[in-house]
Amino acid sequence: MSTYTHELTTALLAVQRATLLTQRVFHNNAKGTLSKDDHSPVTVGDFGAQALIIAALRHNFPKDEIVGEEEASSLREKTPLAEQIFALVKESRLNNTETEEQLGGPVEDEEAMLAAIDAGSSAGGNKGRIWALDPVDGTKGFLRGGQYAVCLALIVDGDVKVGVLGCPNLPVDDAAPLSADVGGEGRGVLFAAVQGEGATSRPLTNGALAEGKRISMREVEDITQATFCESVEAAHSSHGDQAEIAKRLGITKESVRMDSQAKYGSIARGAGDLYLRLPVRKDYEEKIWDHAAGDLIVREAGGEVTDAEGKRLDFGVGRTLKRNKGVVAAPKGVHETVLKVVKEVLGNG
């Protein structure tokens, strides 16, 4: 039996419940936004999903720390928006009494919701149990109806032990070809991994967890036939460097651009092969919540994840990956080949 069975089940159910809220926000067209200090949009979905997940974590693991992306100060000044979010939080519950009780039931009131959002203020670090949460990763993708993910990972003494990604707009079918398209039925998937126990995918449901099945990365025998995933936003990853790397590797297939850690999930199940996030600024530090769950899921599916210099991502130095620059994720058999070209193009080789 896994050492982290309780943590995995809680994380899966908490992420599943939070995705119900994000989908309701999208379909009700309740996508009110605020602008953060860095001008990135924060939606009703971000706040609501963070409140639901942190409430579940605090119920099950009251002593654990949480590194969350959002904080509630702006909401406390905007009462109508807080009321709107609480109405959604209150309505977002799993339709299975037992699973809902596992998460601690509904959030009691608006103040409890704001307190839950603010409980994601841990500074991170390499000691103890710390959850890293991104309630809506790929906010711009979410706003336009593209790919986004609800992301949660447990880091113990700086090492990622449990990772869960909820991707409401990815196809359930692990064999579906990689595509930025999000139309049609049969969508919504939960990816998960526990260190040393492999990775799984299962359909998202609105109640008890569906059965999970093992996933693994595709073996790439001919690098020229590999499929790249990259970010939609040029501000997040250098598209020009990516194109040059593809050219030097002999890859002619067009990259599939999608938002969020859905890219990690996609390559982990063999729908794509390579994910690069290349530095766009020397001073930019990646956030731990943008990579922790995806990093573990890809590695447990048989992949290798490093930064652009070949170092493992270090989740134990605070809220950011300050010791790393960029991300290179690929099947183990070709990671070294890809990394060599990345270093050449970025001038690190």
User: Rounded CA gap, 331 and 313, in Å?
Assistant: 16
User: Rounded CA gap, 131 and 163, in Å?
Assistant: 10
Q: How much is the pLDDT for 179?
A: 73
Q: How much is the pLDDT for 230?
A: 81
35 alpha-carbon distance from chain centroid: 21
Q: How much is the pLDDT for 335?
A: 98
Which strand (E) or helix (H) includes residue 11? helix 5-27
CB neighbour list of residue 181: distance below 8 Å, 6 or more residues apart = none
Beta strands in the chain (DSSP E): 33-35, 41-43, 65-68, 129-137, 149-156, 159-171, 187-194, 199-203, 213-215, 228-230, 256-257, 274-277, 303-306, 327-331
Query: Rounded to two decimals, what is the model's pTM?
Result: 0.94
Q: How much is the pLDDT for 154?
A: 98
Beta strands in 238-279 (DSSP E): 256-257, 274-277
Q: Which portions of the chain are predicted below pLDDT 70?
A: 1, 29-42, 180-185, 233-238, 348-349
Crossing angle of helices 79-91 and 110-118, in 10° steps, is 90
Q: How much is the pLDDT for 81?
A: 86
Choose, from 139, 200, 227, 306, the residue flagged as catalytic: 139
Q: How much is the pLDDT for 74?
A: 84
Residue 139: active-site member: yes
Choose, from 19, 46, 134, 259, the residue flagged as catalytic: 46
What single-letter amino acid sits at 263?
A: K
- Please calculate the CA angle 310-230-339 and round it to the nearest 5 degrees: 20
